[in-house]
Amino acid sequence: MNKVKLQFKPKSRWREFLGEKFIALNALVALAAIFLIFAFIFKESLPVFTDPEVKEEASVDKMVFKQVYYEGREPKYSWQPNSIVPKYSLMPLFIGTVKAAIIAMLFAIPLGVGAAIYSAEFASHCLREIIKPVIELLAGIPSVVLGFFALIVLATFLQKTFGFVFRLNAVNAGMALGVAVIPIIFTVAEDAMTSVPNSLRDAALALGANPWQVSLTVVLPAALPGIAAGVILGFGRAIGETMIVLMASGNAAIISASFADSIRTISATIAAELAEVVFGGAHYSVLFFLGTLLFVFTFLINMGGDYILTRIKVKFQGRLK
């Protein structure tokens, strides 16, 4: 009698069927949303390639190479979309974006990976239970708050310490970005290290290695792909992050190799200018073109990170998960 009760009644099968189709639909909606968003952004940026009026002001050629804007003056890269002669060189924005990301990574990789090694290999269980959630909590700080902190406090501190001429510069924005990137690197790297099988550690210890040697020569190399994945995902965040750089970087579109100069990033440019532009105009199309580039970059970077992450799981656990 009991046995019969435990069995599912045939009646519930169509419910299961519907339920399964429903969650499948949810997954599809998310997929479709990403695809449609990309299609929309790309469509809005098309005039850069097709519309002769837009091309007159901002062809790909003009966005990439140096231009002579006024007769008798040196050719230069310039981002001045609201000028009498609008100038749409993407170079200063690219360089700004890359500079901010480099500083962010230089700051976040040692801190994120170091914290991960400590938490995974050395910290006592009790301490680890504190460190891990607290660092992951960093990810929850709204970026506008980080940006404001960098604008008011960090910039003054850095200027006093290093004597920067420009108070708001690539270093300031990059460090604030780094704070946002640390939890990403930490989380992924820590997971990668804890998923290194204990048999490896035991074997090394049995051969007479001390804990330092175990973690640096056995666990770290084994977890390297995972750490790399975390770094790549963090890099994607550093490139796409908007509010922090908008507030902390000074937003001056300059071409220079110095990290002490102000920068203007792609994401901050879109955020600052998109609200005002004329629909369908050259400026509008160029901003969407920037959006497309940003989307493609971060997408490829995240795909790369994800790919490495999957590979490492296969390597250690022998299965896809």
Partner 1 sequence: MKKIITLTLVLLFGVSLLNAGGNITIKGSDTLVRLGQRWAEEYMKLNPGVVVQVSGGGTGTGIAALINGSTDICQASRDMKEKEYKQAEVRGIKPYRVAVSLDGISIFLNEKNPVKELTFAQLKGIYTGAITNWKEVGGNDARIIVYGRENNSGTYAFFKEHVLDEEDYSDYTQTLPGTAAVVNAVAKDVNGIGYGGIAWATGVRYAAIKKTDQDQAVLPSMETVSNGTYPISRELFWFFSGQPQGELKKLVNWALSEEGQKVAESVDYIPLPRELAEKNKIK
Answer for which of 168, 218, 220, 312 binds partner 1 (CB under 8 A) is: 168
Least distance in Å: CB of 129 to partner 1? 40
Least distance in Å: CB of 256 to partner 1? 10
Residue 81 in the binding site for partner 1 (CB under 8 A): yes
Tally of CB atoms within 10 A around 292: 18
CA pair distance 229, 233, nearest whole angstrom: 6
Closer CB to partner 1, 155 or 266, in the complex: 155
Least distance in Å: CB of 162 to partner 1? 15
Residue 51 in the binding site for partner 1 (CB under 8 A): no
Q: How far is CA 285 from CA 54, 131, 244, in A?
A: 8, 46, 24
Site residues for partner 1, window 267-296 (CB under 8 A)? 272-273, 275-279
Closer CB to partner 1, 92 or 234, in the complex: 92
Closer CB to partner 1, 134 or 152, in the complex: 152
Least distance in Å: CB of 138 to partner 1? 24
- Can you count the helices (H) and strands (E) in the chain? 16, 2
Question: Phi/psi of residue 299, each to 5°?
Answer: -65, -50
**Residue matched to tokens 């002579």:** 68
CA pair distance 98, 174, nearest whole angstrom: 10
Closer CB to partner 1, 253 or 312, in the complex: 253
Least distance in Å: CB of 244 to partner 1? 13
Of 120-128, 163-171, 214-222, 304-312, the window that binds partner 1 (rule: CB under 8 A) is: 163-171
CA pair distance 78, 106, nearest whole angstrom: 28
Answer for which of 238, 254, 308, 309 binds partner 1 (CB under 8 A) is: 254
Question: How many residues bind partner 1, per CB under 8 A?
Answer: 33
Q: How far is CA 286 from CA 88, 141, 202, 263, 271, in A?
A: 8, 31, 57, 19, 13
**Tokens linked to 137:** 């909590």
Residue 176 in the binding site for partner 1 (CB under 8 A): no
CA pair distance 300, 254, nearest whole angstrom: 27
Residue 245 in the binding site for partner 1 (CB under 8 A): no
Least distance in Å: CB of 250 to partner 1? 4
Residue 258 in the binding site for partner 1 (CB under 8 A): no
Which of 149, 70, 67 lies closest to 78 in space, CA to CA?
67
Q: Determine the distance from the C-alpha atom of residue 247 to the mean position of all C-alpha atoms in its chain, rounded to a whole number.
A: 17
Residue 100 in the binding site for partner 1 (CB under 8 A): no
Phi-psi region of 280 (alpha: psi -120 to 50; beta: other; left: phi over 0): left
Closer CB to partner 1, 45 or 169, in the complex: 169
Residue 156 in the binding site for partner 1 (CB under 8 A): yes
Of 32-40, 76-84, 132-140, 214-222, the window that binds partner 1 (rule: CB under 8 A) is: 76-84
**Tokens linked to 108:** 């976040």
Radius of gyration of the chain (CA): 25
The footprint of partner 1 (CB under 8 A) covers 78-84, 87, 92, 151-152, 155-156, 165-168, 246-247, 250-254, 262, 264, 272-273, 275-279
